């Protein structure tokens, strides 16, 4: 599968919901409730009812006293199954390996869930309430609680929300924050100290570190000129999602036989927003990094999600709110090399 950092409308899958709820006044959920009650009595007679009608099947409290914030953000590892135990989605590599669905080119790990109004289903809101960092919980969420809308009673949810099946969520809270952008800045500062020789930020949300000094001045590239670059893009956990180097692609399980691995042509400009990679626009963090480089320089740019793929991420390898790192080297025109 090919991954690119060309600027585009990011792909986004709402991980906290299984589909768009159909809402109308109906009593058809009565049969579903009877079935759910029977299932719980048989399989989880000790399940604890919470919120507007979710059922907590297991609970493992851990961590500190701080609980999930509403509104706020939680970085979670999750698995979703239907009532028969069939896994529909997971961010847990261990689960994926057990199922035989593990894909080395896929991102597994904590995902960021926003808990603000209109960004999380009522069932998940009830499930996350009271959870702390490093705690785990498994809960049955009835189909009528899988909606962004809010009503005053369980009966209203049952009357207004139909078309969703019951689901079981297993969630581990890895981190809790009220400010996801500050969390990114703090994480990037740590990364800079560990891997970028304490590089200072160029401006808020963007770091640049020189690996191999270039020749000339940065202004030499601030005009409509053509250069060639090699690059590797990765997450802060080291997982590579794009590269121009064939060996790197193969080593990181993202090799695409249809792609040519070679230096790519870049059209520079006096305005960093006008920089083009093979005639395609690029994300702001990448163009801002290139705009600070000197001819024949090798450097590393790191930037927060606002300069990358934002709240949605991109594809199966770049999650939401993900800071990115790009190793970039300006090289000679490959056609001019012997």
Q: Do domains 22-178 and 181-336 have the same CATH topology?
A: yes
Q: In the numeric block, which tokens belong to residue 318? A: 């770049």
What percentage of the chain reaches a pLDDT higher than 70?
Answer: 92
In angstroms, the CA 94 to CA 91 distance is 9
Q: Which two tokens stand for residue 337?
A: 């090399």
Distance separating the N- and C-terminal Cα atoms of the chain: 32
Domain boundaries defined on the chain: 22-178, 181-336
Q: What is the pLDDT of residues 12-68, one digit of tens each?
A: 333 444 444 555 444 789 999 999 999 999 999 999 999 999 999 999 988 778 999
304: three-class secondary structure by DSSP: coil
For 82-118, how does the pLDDT look when each residue is reduced to its tens digit (9 = 90+)?
999 999 999 999 999 999 999 999 999 999 999 998 8
What is the arithmetic mean of pLDDT over 310-338?
Answer: 93
| Domain range 181-336, CATH class | alpha beta
pLDDT digits (tens, 9 = 90+) for 116-129: 988 999 999 999 99
pLDDT, tens digit (0-9, with 9 covering 90-100), for 220-230? 898 889 999 99
Cα gap 104→108, rounded to integer Å: 9
Tell me the torsion sign for CA atoms 217, 222, 225, 229.
positive
Mean pLDDT of 317-326: 98
Q: What is the pTM of this model?
A: 0.88
Residue 16: name the closest of 101, 86, 73 by CA: 73
Give the pLDDT of residue 25: 45
d(CA 291, CA 294): 8
Residue 21: per-residue pLDDT: 52
**pLDDT score, position 199:** 87
DSSP assignment of 248-286: HHHHTT---TTS--S-EEEE--SSGGG-EETTEEB-HHH
Class of domain 22-178: alpha beta
166 in Cβ contact with 47 (< 8 Å): no
Q: Picking from 1-15, 195-209, 298-312, which range would have the lowest pLDDT averaged per residue? A: 1-15
335: pLDDT confidence band, cut at 50, 70 and 90?
Answer: confident
Alpha-carbon gap, residue 121 to 111, rounded angstroms:
16
What pLDDT, on a 0 to 100 scale, did the predictor assign at position 201? 93
Gyration radius of the chain over CA positions: 24
241 neighbors 332 (Cβ within 8 angstroms): no
Confidence at residue 62, expressed as pLDDT on a 0 to 100 scale? 81
pLDDT given for residue 2 in this prediction: 40
């Amino acid at each position: 599968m090919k991954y690119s950092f060309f600027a585009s409308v990011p792909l986004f899958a709402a991980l906290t919901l299984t589909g768009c709820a159909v809402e109308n006044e109906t009593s058809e959920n009565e049969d579903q409730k009877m079935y759910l009650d029977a299932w719980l009595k048989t399989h989880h007679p000790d399940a604890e009812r919470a919120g507007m009608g979710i059922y907590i099947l297991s609970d493992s409290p851990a961590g500190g006293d701080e609980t999930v914030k509403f509104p706020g953000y939680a970085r979670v590892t999750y698995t979703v199954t239907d009532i028969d135990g069939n896994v529909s989605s997971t961010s847990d590599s261990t689960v994926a390996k057990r199922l035989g669905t593990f894909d080395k080119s896929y991102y597994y790990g904590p995902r960021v869930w926003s808990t603000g109004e209109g960004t999380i289903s009522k069932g998940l809101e009830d499930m996350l309430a009271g959870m702390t960092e490093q705690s785990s919980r498994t809960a049955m969420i009835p189909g009528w609680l899988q909606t962004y809308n809010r009503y005053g009673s369980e009966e209203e949810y049952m009357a207004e929300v139909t078309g969703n099946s019951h689901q079981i969520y297993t969630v581990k809270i890895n981190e809790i924050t009220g400010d996801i952008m500050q969390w990114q800045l703090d994480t990037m500062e740590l990364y800079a100290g560990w891997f970028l020789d304490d590089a200072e930020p160029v401006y808020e949300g963007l770091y640049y570190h020189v690996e191999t000094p270039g020749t000339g001045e940065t202004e030499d590239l601030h005009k409509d000129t053509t250069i060639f670059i090699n690059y590797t893009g990765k997450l802060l956990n080291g997982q590579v999602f794009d590269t121009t180097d064939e060996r790197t692609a193969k080593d990181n399980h993202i090799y695409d036989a249809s792609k040519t691995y070679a230096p790519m042509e870049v059209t520079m400009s006096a305005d960093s927003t006008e920089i083009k990679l093979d005639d395609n626009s690029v994300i702001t963090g990448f163009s801002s990094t290139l705009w600070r480089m000197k001819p024949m320089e090798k450097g590393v740019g790191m930037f927060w999600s606002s300069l990358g793929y934002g709240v949605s991420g991109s594809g199966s390898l770049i999650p939401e709110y993900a800071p990115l790192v790009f190793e970039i080297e300006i090289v000679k025109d490959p056609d001019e090399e012997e």
